[in-house]
Chain A
Amino acid sequence: MNKLLMFLLTLSCAALLAGAARADSYWITYEGNDYPENEGWTRHTGAGGAQRSIEQGALVLDGRDDIMIYDAYTMSRQIDPAPGELFIMRARLKVDEMASEPWDPGFGVASDESWSALFVFSETRIFNVDDLGMSASFEPGVFHTFELRSWDMRSFELCIDGNLSLTGPFTHIISASSVSWGDMVEGEASLSRWDSFEFGVVPEPGGVTGMVVLSMVVFGVSRMYTHIRK
């Protein structure tokens, strides 16, 4: 039994390492503890940009003075997942106030082949810019985690606090290979707090590697637990 357990755990570790060692995998995190341009992000502003501060580990963007204000952050790099990988873009934020309607903060991605998904937020809803009739609601006044996942950069799933809320296609545009977030919209005014923003490519949980890893780990732990109880 011990030999079998060791074999399974070894396989699990090997699969994990194989997945982690893929050259295409990457993960970039901004945690709201510093201004984004100090952490490799490019700042884009209009009308002087928002009044900014760092409060309790979150970036505060106050653009309520002028609807022409925008204050967005982009990072250009190769974006796309390889087969068997998953692209994830995740933002944790709170929209404190909209000084105009209907939306202002946002986040989006443009793939290596110029396929884009772009979303904007009001105090209570998230909208897909490419299909503004597509939106999902969330509780106002508290932080939420919005996570976009794509396996092929042609379609997406969007989860709010872990719950699947929207699905849809990407749109072909000119801009390529970047992610962006912040006070995105010129023409609206808002106050928002960004606790974190992260994106990257990880081994696909539902892929062969992911399934092997998951099944091996679960099976291995189960056998270990059984073995310990004996």
Chain B
Amino acid sequence: MTKKSKLLLGAIIVAAALSYLIYGGIREAAVYYITPAELNEKGASAADRSFRLGGMVVPGSVHWDPGTLQLTFRLTDGKEQVAVMHTGSPPDLFKEGTGAIVEGKYNSGNLFIASTILAKHSEEYRPPQAGQAQAKDLYRTLMKPPEERR
């Protein structure tokens, strides 16, 4: 075998190894986007895979216990709802009535265990609405004159 063909063979082996890595990576790491209705339809068959579940946070469904850091809420696509549980603080952008995408797995108890919450951030500018409390009104009790803080 000439040096050139040896080199070519080496290159082919490397390329094959790379393709195998990439193929396997995609098979294992692909996470499908899914709506609450689609998830309910899949039911128990969806239990072993990770999904990205997208929907609107149902108003009034959010409960957060600061002691145990358990966050529970329901996501809806307008048709059906899925109960979601997450351990940790709700992200800043997470709010009732706004969109959120959660990534995680469906457990057998019809509960979606989310490892990550990706709140949807709207880039649109919205001026402070009338009647909406200013931050400084909400946290009046914390206010201190500047010289007291270092």
Decide whether A and B assemble into one complex.
Answer: no
Binding site for A on B (CB under 8 A): none
